[in-house]
């Protein structure tokens, strides 16, 4: 068992194409997940049926593996005539769309819980002080509570983001050739599993660590006011 540098170099275009697919899946999911999570988190902090529904949403999509959701969207939705026989089919016949939707459901479940935790951690005295200064509830939310919550949850968001990067490896199950799948394809052609898989692992490692460095820098900038020991 040895690492074949020549093969690694030759398979680089295929692996980089896989990396591009990984990012094509990942980036829309991060944006969509955040957009869905925000109203869910706010509903969860409310009371009454809205809060119960939000709690159900969070529990369901955090409890079910993303692979199940990908399969449900990819092969389950086309069974519904409302999807198959309408304009929706143009979307859901595309594996990328299915990957975006499936992973967004998981990501938004986790993000809603993170945002809820961050908002709940904002001291009520601060909110009352802002209201006393004459800010509208909307201003209080967008100018005060969310920015403060963002600072609190940076660490949790980092964890979640890194998990999402790694979770994208599930999309090979619905025919997309991401970085993991690309490495497996190289293996199929060359019968050398070690070289392409280790190379792919190295690429993932670089992506993850660049993000970690980015978060450390963001943390230093955003949380300047916290004294560290």
Q: How many CB atoms lie within 10 A of CB 108?
A: 26
- Which of 136, 141, 160, 130 shows the shortest CA–CA distance to 41? 141
State yes or no: residue 44 binds other proteins (CB under 8 A). no
Binding residue for other proteins, selected from 9, 142, 189, 205, defined by CB under 8 A:
205
DSSP 8-class letter at 86: S
Question: For residue 110, what are its two tokens?
Answer: 């986790």
Least distance from other proteins to the Cβ atom of residue 133, Å: 26
User: Per rule CB under 8 A, is residue 198 in the interface with other proteins?
Assistant: yes
Name the one range near other proteins by CB under 8 A: 96-104, 140-148, 204-212, 216-224.
Answer: 204-212
CB of 110 to other proteins, least distance (A): 6
Placement of tokens 């194409």 in the chain: 17
Helix (H) or strand (E) holding 63: helix 49-63
| Residues 78, 88: Cα–Cα separation, whole Å | 9
Q: Are 184 and 172 in contact (CB under 8 A)?
A: yes
Q: Which stretch binds other proteins (CB under 8 A): 13-21, 28-36, 45-53, 110-118?
A: 110-118
Please report, as ranges, the residues that interact with other proteins according to CB under 8 A: 1-2, 59-60, 62-68, 71-72, 75-76, 79, 110, 113-114, 116-118, 120-121, 152-153, 155-156, 159-160, 162-163, 165-170, 172-173, 180, 183-184, 187, 193-194, 197-198, 200-201, 204-205, 208-209
């Amino acid at each position: 068992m040895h690492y074949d540098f020549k093969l690694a170099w030759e398979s680089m275009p295929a692996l980089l194409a896989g990396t591009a697919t990984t990012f094509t899946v990942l980036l829309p999911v991060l944006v969509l997940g955040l957009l869905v999570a925000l109203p869910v988190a706010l509903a969860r902090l409310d009371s009454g049926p809205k809060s119960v529904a939000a709690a159900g949403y969070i529990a369901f999509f955090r409890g079910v593996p993303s692979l199940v959701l990908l399969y449900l969207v990819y092969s389950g939705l086309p069974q519904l005539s409302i999807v198959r026989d309408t304009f929706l089919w143009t979307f859901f016949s595309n594996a990328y769309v299915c990957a975006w939707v499936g992973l967004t459901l998981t990501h938004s479940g986790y993000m809603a819980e993170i945002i809820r935790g961050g908002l709940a951690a904002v001291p009520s005295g601060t909110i009352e002080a802002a209201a006393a200064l004459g800010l509208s509830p909307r201003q209080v939310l967008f100018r005060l509570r969310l920015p403060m919550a963002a600072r609190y949850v940076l660490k949790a968001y980092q964890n979640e983001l890194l998990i999402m990067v790694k979770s994208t490896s599930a999309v090979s199950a619905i025919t997309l050739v991401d970085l993991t799948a690309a490495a497996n394809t190289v293996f199929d052609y060359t019968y050398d599993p070690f070289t392409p898989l280790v190379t792919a692992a190295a690429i993932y490692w670089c992506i993850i660590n660049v993000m970690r460095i980015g978060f450390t820098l963001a943390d230093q900038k955003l949380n300047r006011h916290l004294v560290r020991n």
